Structure 1
Amino acid sequence: MLTEYAKDKTKDELQKLDKNFMIKLLGIELGVNRVKCGMLPSEALKKLIVINKNG
């Protein structure tokens, strides 16, 4: 789902992804223990952007 969303977005837009957006994108309510799991894709994407930027 995140990959489909990210296709037409800029790096700056992707860096701004937050917890509320990810929960909406998933379309389900996450319990306290699952929020970290729900954020994992966006955190990985943000790290990839930084790695790509730094060479």
Structure 2
Amino acid sequence: ARVGGPAVDPTRTTNRQLAHRGSARYLRRRSKALSALNYVVIVRILGSCANP
């Protein structure tokens, strides 16, 4: 199921676009909180990759 990857998945891309459109104003207001959350997620992913 993961042959094409998330970029080829039509439902995932459309859902992402709709979510981005719907929460654009909300994300602008919460840009600081969102950046902090993204930082935590990136650190988690990098940590899991470094320590499998």
TM band (smaller chain): 0.3 to 0.5
TM-score, normalised with respect to structure 2: 0.33
Q: Work out which of the two has the higher radius of gyration on C-alpha atoms and give 1 or 2.
A: 2
Larger RCO (CA within 8 A; separation ≥ 6): 1
- When normalised by structure 1's length, the TM-score is 0.32
